[in-house]
């Protein structure tokens, strides 16, 4: 596979359409001991955990991968965390896990499933309310793991208990532990030059350990032909970088519940009780509904001999036993100009990551992500080949409210209300199109892949689990896919979790987005869809109507393509004996009428493998495929 003119092309010259799934939601937590976030003891003994068996046990891998392949998925975004590779300590890699991972990827290769390797994290680590980095990364900068909760440096499911408030975990980006680690990781040399680890700057040490771990992983997977590339980091965050006033709230995905200002977070981490605002966000905006006090006990977050790196940097200090903010705009500038996190810090890191991974395999793609619901880094020809704009998009109103109304939505980009089903669908299309346009204008027209989108299945207080009626879920997913298909956008849905249950969801922060649960697919009519997976030319139009069981596909043939066009078409879509019409037309005719047909076009449907093959005529043509179940 290679990239040409923002398209993925196979070795037969055909345009590929990648459609897949993230595997898996529970890969964020270890299997031994059980690491589901609802387990209060799941953060104990971090150096002895094992991720062998994530995403699934080796003995059941064939079953799961066969199932994914039978659903037409030709791409897996495989979730791998830094902790899974290097949990035991710096430079100590879990070779048993890497050997297991290699066997999983090899099984993907056997089934013709491509793999996009995703170094996954959310709000830095499991100890800061998410997943990703090993516990020792926090300890290396002097943070005591047992004091993260008591000082308000993070909120975790383990400490809060059940039920964890809906979508509370992203607010940890604005709490001390995650915000500090991201700032040190990306920009420690600039904003905390006195902060060192083992005699090296915190930024250089953390980045080197991170890149070395995933490079080592890639070396163990070097002969796995299914791997098409790596992401540099899932949903990177800027931490404190960009704050113009540390007494306020910035860089937040959502304002929900008690959230300290950056200065309050710093003071609380150093042992000062702080009265912080409690936020509520709705369709009409954000407001403060009250106040809470964090760190009532006056506990310090830090190990003996360590102090807050931002205090060392002169951001804040003490006066008569009270914390005092000294430089409220400390993180607002870089080299005497307004800072731009994505260009000044994120992009250089991605370039470094790409260079090191290319030492293992020069031809691998780099899947580039920006800030969640925020800015993306630019990418030009001189920055390197193989770049893919791998942005994420969620229907935010549905994700946060866990309800779905096809006639009412809130745009994820500008949070404006949208009324009417047609307008809602158009808003989905427009939001995705904006990211595609960004890549065209600022990323050298890189191909685009929607790395994450999905639906919480526990809508309406899990009503469907009691009734078995998933019609709203199907409607939502159908609208998401309609938007994706209208743009011929590559996409991997979040997610397939083999051990998902109705009671505990994906096993992480009460998220429940898996398309598979308790041994069965869910709302399958919404996401299990026909699509042209390999096109001997350029696609122009595609639509699937699951109610009418109707496929319409138009493409323009290419003389450079050798193989047939392949359309994934399952008998569950259109039955055993659908009406299939395939016709070729002159390339200069915009209206595709029967009398303008140039010559007959051959096709064959392999029902057993769910592939419709279309062999187009030698002369350049526009091909119309119409299938009616």
The residues annotated with a catalytic role in the active site are: 235, 452
Contacts of 592 (CB under 8 A, 6+ apart): 554, 583, 585, 622, 624
Measured distance CA(315)–CA(337) in Å, rounded: 18
- 579 backbone dihedrals φ, ψ, rounded to 5°: -85, 115
Residue 366: C-alpha distances to residues 121, 358, 448, 459 (Å): 17, 10, 12, 35
Task: Please give the backbone phi and psi of residue 116, each rounded to the nearest 5 degrees, phi first.
Answer: -110, 115
Whether residue 238 contacts residue 371, with contact meaning beta carbons closer than 8 Å, is answered with: yes
Tokens of 238: 């800027």
Radius of gyration for the alpha carbons in the chain, expressed in angstroms and rounded:
25
Q: Report DSSP state, residue 344.
A: I
Instruction: Say how far apart CA 611 and CA 572 lie, in whole Å.
Output: 13
What's the CA angle centered on 427, arms 426 and 431, to 5 degrees?
120
DSSP 555-599: EEE-TT--SPEEEE--HHHH-SS-EEEEEEEETT-SS--GGG--S
Which helix (H) or strand (E) segment is 425 a member of? helix 421-442
**421 exposed, middle or buried (CB, 10 Å; 0-12, 13-18, 19+)?**
middle
| Phi, psi angle pair for 108, to nearest 5° | -65, -45
Nearest of 439, 430, 434 to residue 389 by alpha carbon: 439
94-97-99 Cα angle (round to 5): 110
Query: How far are the Cα atoms of 556, 581, 592, 599 from residue 589, in angstroms, in the given order?
Result: 11, 18, 7, 14
Give bridge partners of residue 377 from the DSSP assignment.
Answer: none
Asked whether the beta carbons of 65 and 107 are under 8 A apart, the reply is yes
Residue 262, Cα to own-chain centre: how many angstroms?
26
Report the Cα–Cα distance between both ends of the chain, in Å, rounded: 33
Whether 206 contacts 364, CB under 8 Å? no
CA-CA-CA-CA dihedral for 362, 211, 61, 499, to nearest 10: -140
């Amino acid at each position: 596979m290679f990239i040409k003119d923002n398209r993925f092309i196979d070795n037969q010259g055909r345009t590929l359409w990648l459609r897949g799934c993230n595997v898996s939601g529970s890969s964020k937590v270890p299997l031994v001991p059980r690491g589901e976030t609802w387990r209060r003891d799941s953060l104990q003994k971090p150096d002895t955990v094992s991720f062998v068996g994530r995403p699934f046990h080796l003995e059941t891998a064939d079953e799961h991968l066969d199932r994914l392949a039978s659903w037409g998925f030709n791409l897996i975004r495989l979730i791998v965390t830094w902790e899974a590779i290097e949990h035991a300590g710096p430079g100590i890699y879990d070779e048993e896990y890497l050997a297991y991972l290699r066997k999983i990827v090899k099984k993907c290769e056997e089934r013709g499933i491509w793999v996009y390797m995703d170094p996954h994290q959310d709000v830095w680590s499991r100890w800061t309310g998410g997943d990703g980095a090993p516990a020792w990364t926090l300890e290396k900068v002097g943070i005591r793991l047992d004091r993260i909760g008591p000082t308000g440096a993070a909120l975790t499911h383990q400490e809060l208990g059940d039920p964890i408030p809906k979508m509370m975990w992203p607010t940890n980006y604005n709490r001390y532990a995650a915000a500090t680690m991201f700032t040190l990781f990306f920009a420690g040399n600039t904003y905390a030059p006195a902060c060192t680890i083992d005699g090296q700057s915190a930024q250089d040490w953390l980045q080197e350990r991170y890149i070395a771990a995933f490079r080592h992983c890639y070396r163990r997977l070097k002969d796995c032909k299914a791997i098409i590339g790596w992401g540099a980091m899932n949903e990177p965050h800027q931490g404190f970088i960009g704050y113009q006033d540390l007494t306020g709230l910035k860089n937040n995905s959502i304002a929900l519940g008690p959230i300290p200002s950056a200065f309050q977070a710093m003071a609380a981490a150093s042992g000062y009780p702080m009265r912080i605002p409690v936020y509520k966000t709705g369709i009409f905006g954000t407001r403060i509904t009250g106040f809470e006090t964090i760190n009532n006990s006056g506990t310090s977050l830090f190990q003996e001999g360590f102090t807050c790196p931002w205090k060392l940097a002169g951001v804040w200090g003490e006066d008569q036993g009270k914390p005092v903010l000294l430089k409220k705009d400390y993180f607002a500038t870089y080299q005497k100009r307004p800072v731009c996190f994505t260009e000044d810090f994120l992009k250089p890191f991605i370039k470094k990551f790409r260079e090191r991974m290319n030492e293992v395999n020069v031809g691998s793609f780099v899947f580039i992500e920006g800030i969640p619901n925020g800015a993306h880094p630019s990418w030009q020809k001189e920055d390197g080949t193989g770049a893919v704009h791998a942005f994420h998009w969620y229907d935010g109103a549905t994700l946060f409210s866990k309800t779905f109304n096809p006639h009412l939505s809130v745009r994820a980009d500008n949070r404006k209300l949208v009324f009417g089903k047609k307008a809602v669908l158009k808003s989905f299309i427009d939001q995705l199109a904006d990211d595609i346009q960004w890549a065209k204008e600022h990323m050298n027209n890189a191909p685009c892949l929607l790395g994450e989108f999905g639906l919480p299945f526990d809508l309406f207080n899990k009503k469907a689990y009691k009734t078995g009626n998933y019609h709203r879920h199907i409607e939502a997913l159908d609208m998401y896919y309609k938007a994706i298909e209208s743009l011929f956008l590559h996409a991997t849905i979040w997610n397939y979790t083999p051990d998902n249950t109705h009671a505990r969801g994906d096993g992480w922060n009460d998220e429940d987005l898996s398309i598979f649960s308790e041994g069965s697919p869910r709302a399958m009519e919404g996401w299990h869809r026909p699509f042209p997976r390999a096109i001997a030319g350029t696609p122009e139009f595609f639509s699937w109507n699951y109610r009418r069981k109707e496929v319409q596909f138009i493409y323009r043939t290419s003389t450079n393509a050798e193989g047939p066009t392949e359309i994934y078409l399952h008998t569950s879509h259109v039955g055993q004996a659908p009406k299939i019409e395939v016709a070729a037309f002159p390339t200069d005719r915009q209206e595709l009428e029967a009398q303008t047909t140039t010559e007959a076009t051959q096709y064959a449907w392999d029902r057993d493998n769910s592939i419709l093959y279309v062999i187009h005529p030698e002369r350049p043509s526009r091909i119309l495929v119409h299938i009616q179940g």
